[in-house]
Amino acid sequence: MDYLYGIIIIVGLYVILATSFNLIIGYGGLVSIAHPVFFALGAYTSAILSRDVHVPVLLAMLAGFLVALIASIALALPSLRVSGDYLMIASIGFQLGVLELIKNVRFTGGPGGFTNIPAFLIRDFGRESYVLLVLAVMAAVILLIWWIARSDYGRAMSAMRDDELAFASVGRDAMWMKIAIFALGSGLAGLAGGLYAHYFRFITPEQFEILQSSAILTMVVVGGMRTTWGPVVGALLLEALPQAISFLQLPPSILGPIQGLLFTGLVLVFMFFRPQGLVPARDIWRSPRKEAP
């Protein structure tokens, strides 16, 4: 059962990562490579605060969310003042730089990783309670992004993606909207990081490498960008497939490359045959509000 719980939690966390990344790249139209490092910032912040500073785990997780959020603003503010494209370049540097920093300072455990992270809920309420916690947060994140996308904010995001100059010409501020989108999306990745750390209780820098970025992107693209369920379907599919392959009991030397091939192959297949993803987005944004008669 523990093995199954582990898988459910991993899938749930990737749904959070893909859904929050969908907010950034799908709805916001912002290209970022740094999603894994915000995941890492949340995980490390929560782990360090709870183990070494003895902050209660729930507060430490919240701090992980906030640290990722604040760090993303610090990254976006100077980048987006220049242009949207600049964020992509800056995010590569940020991803590589912060991970290098984590590997090279003492209080993160360095390249060997950070161990003995305090457990949460499991000792008192069993592993099931943690599974429920992750699923509840996952549901809340899906609901949150769904709510935002259909609200007046969704209308503004659509307009901003259509034409930024026209967006400014009606008095709207594209830069601050992009910063807010990026901050919320990245903050949620940090929250997922905290949830990861206190279940598996061991984190290493390798888990947050830049390759994770392409995995998350693949989930969003294959599932369907700018849809509520696309990233969910994408995360389920791309996390379940490798698990299924591992049941084939192939030697690890073959297993790794096969999984890599599968990811790349899926992206190529979808790019050619179904660029809209499994769940296609609607072309037109419509308000859920009913007109007064």
Q: Which residues lie near other proteins (CB under 8 A)?
A: 147-148, 151-153, 155-156, 158-159, 161-163, 165-174, 177, 180, 184, 283-287, 289, 291-292
Residue placing its CB nearer to other proteins in the complex, 81 or 274:
81
> Closer CB to other proteins, residue 103 or residue 161?
161
Q: How long is the chain?
A: 293
Token pair belonging to 135: 């699923």
Q: Considering the complex, what minimum distance in angstroms separates the CB of residue 273 from other proteins?
A: 24
Q: How near is the Cβ of 65 to other proteins at its closest, in Å?
A: 15
CB of 157 to other proteins, least distance (A): 9
Burial of 286 (0-12, 13-18, 19+ CB in 10 A): exposed
Q: In this complex, which beta carbon is closest to other proteins, that of residue 60 or of residue 145?
A: 145
Bridge partners for 114 per DSSP: 203
Closer residue to other proteins, CB minimum distance, 69 or 71: 69
Nearer to other proteins, 53 or 292 (CB): 292
Residue 214, both tokens:
């392409």
Measure Cα distances from 109 to 20, 52, 113, 203 in Å: 28, 12, 5, 9
**Shortest distance (Å) from residue 194 CB to other proteins:** 21
Q: What is the closest distance, in whole angstroms, from the C-beta atom of residue 19 to other proteins in the complex? A: 16
Beta bridge partners of 203: 114
Residue where the block lists tokens 């609200």: 151
Helix (H) or strand (E) holding 68: helix 57-82
How far apart are the C-alpha atoms of 94 and 89, rounded to whole Å? 9
